[in-house]
Amino acid sequence: MRILPGVLKELVKHVPTVLFEVVEWKLLASELPKLSRRLLNKEGYPELFDQQAKFLSALNIHLVTELSHQKEAQNKQLLAQNILALYFAQLLSPHGFFLDLGPTHFEMKNNGLHFAPSGLWTKFDQTFSKGLKDIYDGFYLEDEDLFHKGLVESGLTSNKWPTADRQKLAELFKSHFGASLTSEMSFDLKTFKASFFKIADFMLEKKVTISTDFLYLGIGLITLYSSLESLGEKVNVKEVYLNVMSKLQAQ
């Protein structure tokens, strides 16, 4: 792990160790030099910054290179909603995903979110990205078939598995979403990590080898939870997701 850039080392500390046993290590090893160039040399950063800034403008989310370092958010609830909206919007973005959603990268100005991304970014494989969208759409639109289709598309399960195994993984993912379908949700990093571990452990048991995309998604989620936990606010996650979908589709 000594070859990892400092920022990535800190993030990876929070990823369950078992996850590295189900990631394709050859792919991960080939990704590390690329991530180092992105973090240290800002490779690809200007292009993604400009593309993502335009894409996110419909949500009143503004990409900036520096923050004014306000001491404390005036409206923590609104800040939490906007950070979550940023996460969902980036999942739906065709351009890429700025992975570090930690609390030092945000502030609110005039009811808009200002986001100063680091050079840690990725672009998900198109099939994996489509699968993620179907997972979230299936869950929040309560479409069971679409939810299961997304798990298969993203490579997290297989139609070759016994029905009981596919259902078990689906339930693990649903529990990972918490109470976000029926009520406002609190964000706790410890609970998230425990849930994430169960998913990774089940994949290891099933001898599933997944792509590095799942690891990067985990890093994005961990930093997201870190920000939302620090704010201590409950959020109506379903409402935020559907609002993001509606605004992006209206562009």
b/e burial code for range 146-173 (CB count within 10 A of at least 16 → b):
bbbbbbbbbbbbeeeeeeeebeebbebb
- Residue closest to 53 by CA, chosen among 45, 63, 44: 63
State the CB neighbour count (10 A cutoff) for residue 182: 8
Q: Pick the residue with more confidence: 2 or 201?
A: 201
Res. 84 pLDDT band, cuts 50 70 90 = very high
Q: Measure the CA–CA gap between 92 and 88, rounded to whole angstroms.
A: 7
The pLDDT of residue 20 is 55
Res. 2 pLDDT band, cuts 50 70 90 = very low
The pLDDT of residue 3 is 45
Identify the top-confidence range among 2-16, 60-74, 89-103: 89-103
Q: Measure the CA–CA gap between 49 and 117, rounded to whole angstroms.
A: 8
Res. 13 pLDDT band, cuts 50 70 90 = low
Q: Measure the CA–CA gap between 36 and 135, rounded to whole angstroms.
A: 30
Q: Which two tokens stand for residue 198?
A: 């169960």
Res. 8 pLDDT band, cuts 50 70 90 = low
Give 23's strand partners: 210
- Residue closest to 85 by CA, chosen among 51, 60, 117: 60
Mean pLDDT along residues 50-66:
95
The pLDDT of residue 222 is 83
Q: Measure the CA–CA gap between 248 and 86, rounded to whole angstroms.
A: 12
Q: Pick the residue with more confidence: 132 or 34?
A: 132
Residue 185 phi, psi (nearest 5) = -120, 140
pLDDT digits (tens, 9 = 90+) for 174-183: 887 766 777 7
The pLDDT of residue 249 is 87
Average pLDDT taken over every residue of the chain: 84
Q: Measure the CA–CA gap between 60 and 112, rounded to whole angstroms.
A: 5
Q: Measure the CA–CA gap between 241 and 89, rounded to whole angstroms.
A: 8
Q: Measure the CA–CA gap between 98 and 123, rounded to whole angstroms.
A: 9
3 state DSSP class of 112: strand
The pLDDT of residue 54 is 96
**Residue 169 confidence (pLDDT) above 80:** yes
The pLDDT of residue 129 is 94
**Residue 121 confidence (pLDDT) above 50:** yes
The length of the chain, given as a count of residues:
251
The rounded radius of gyration (Å) of the Cα atoms in the chain is 18
Residue with tokens 């909603």: 81
- CB neighbour list of residue 132: distance below 8 Å, 6 or more residues apart: 91, 124, 150, 154, 217
Mean pLDDT along residues 52-67:
95
Mean pLDDT along residues 105-132:
92
Q: Measure the CA–CA gap between 96 and 48, rounded to whole angstroms.
A: 7
